[in-house]
């Protein structure tokens, strides 16, 4: 994904974690959010964010298509 591209994440269950990871030589967590069922987050890739990790059951929409994450149980 390119910088400034958006990703839409919709929680299908309570407690979905969305974690932003930094860009650069050392990849680190720099931001996290917890979503409950039905909540939607719009995330953006930036100069500081190179990856987004989703934990829990959620629908993820990108310009490349749609994917559904599974819960970790």
Asked if the structure places residue 1 within a domain, the reply is no
pLDDT band at 23 (very low <50, low <70, confident <90, very high): confident
- pLDDT, tens digit, 9 for 90 and up, residues 33-71: 999 999 999 988 887 778 889 999 999 999 999 999 987
Looking at the predicted structure, is the pLDDT value of residue 1 above 60?
no
Looking at the predicted structure, is the pLDDT value of residue 2 above 60?
no
Total count of domains within the chain: 1
CATH of residue 38's domain is 2.60.40.50
| C-alpha separations of 36 from 14, 33, 40, 53, 59 in Å | 4, 10, 9, 16, 13
The pTM of the full predicted model, rounded to 2 decimals, is: 0.82
């Amino acid at each position: 994904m390119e910088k400034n591209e958006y990703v839409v994440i919709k929680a299908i269950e309570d407690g979905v974690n969305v974690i932003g990871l930094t860009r650069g030589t050392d990849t680190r967590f720099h931001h996290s959010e917890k979503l409950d069922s039905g909540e939607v987050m719009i995330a953006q890739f930036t100069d500081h964010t190179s990856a987004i990790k989703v934990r829990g059951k959620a629908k993820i929409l990108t310009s490349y298509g749609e994917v559904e994450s599974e819960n970790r149980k």
